[in-house]
Amino acid sequence: MRLSAAILCMTLGLSAAAGDPSTSALAAAGIDPTETRLNYMLNCQGCHAADGRGLNDIPAMADSVGTFLRVDGGRAYLVQVPGSTNSPLSNQDLADVLNWILLTMSAEQLPRPFTPYSAKEVGGFRAQPLIDAAATRALLLRQLAQQ
Ligand code: HEC
């Protein structure tokens, strides 16, 4: 009962934001915004905050995470960070959550054209765990700084 009330509120909230440019991009990527936002809330929001600004020492994803797709290894990194890869989400649901994060929180930083993650791509990256997320992040940021 409570969950359906919450979903109803979110649906209303989202329909109020129908003029948002990300709405058509989400539809083009085959994403159900209500279900995907709920998956983000349940699995990611506790650390990353509702708007992706990050809580405590967690890096902000808002207005930034899309830049990782501009360097080699960045696409894999976003899937392989522990919070993404170890979540209970299926490969399809994780692909949707990552595409939703990128399109709603960091659209301006995305390379053009942006190719959304597929379940297959996510599954491939998940099969190769990251040894040291912080070191990989630092390396990618150094590569970005040189661009
Ligand atoms: C327990 C806290 C926690 C949870 C839950 C969590 N993350 Fe994270 N996330 C982090 C931390 C910390 C980092 C920084 C890299 C690292 O040290 O792992 C990070 C980094 C990221 C990054 C790369 C951003 C950057 O600037 O480096 C992405 C993308 C990401 N997380 C996605 C997700 C997704 C998607 C979920 C939910 C399915 C999720 N995270 C759940 C803590 C979390």
Q: Is 76 left (phi over 0), alpha (psi -120 to 50) or beta?
A: alpha
Please indicate whether residue 137, judged by its CB atom, sits closer than 6 Å to ligand 1.
yes
Q: Are 78 and 68 in contact (CB under 8 A)?
A: yes
Task: Out of 2-11, 21-30, 49-58, 102-111, pick the least confident.
Answer: 2-11
Atom of ligand 1 nearest to the CA of 43: 37
Look at residue 5 in the predicted model and tell me its pLDDT: 52
Cα distances (Å, whole numbers) of residue 123 to 93, 127, 132: 11, 6, 19
Measuring from atom 36 of ligand 1, which residue has the nearest CA?
44
- CA-to-CA distance for 132 and 29, rounded, in angstroms? 30
Please indicate whether residue 129, judged by its CB atom, sits closer than 6 Å to ligand 1.
no
Cα distances (Å, whole numbers) of residue 57 to 49, 53, 62, 79, 145: 12, 10, 14, 20, 21
**By C-alpha distance, which of 47, 50, 34 is closest to 105?**
50
Look at residue 12 in the predicted model and tell me its pLDDT: 44
Q: Are 107 and 44 in contact (CB under 8 A)?
A: no
Look at residue 2 in the predicted model and tell me its pLDDT: 60
Distance of alpha carbon 6 from its chain centroid, rounded? 21
Digit-coded pLDDT (tens) for 24-35: 899 999 999 999
Residue 1 Cα, ligand 1 centroid: separation in angstroms?
Answer: 30
Burial-class residue 53 by CB neighbours within 10 Å (0-12, 13-18, 19+): middle
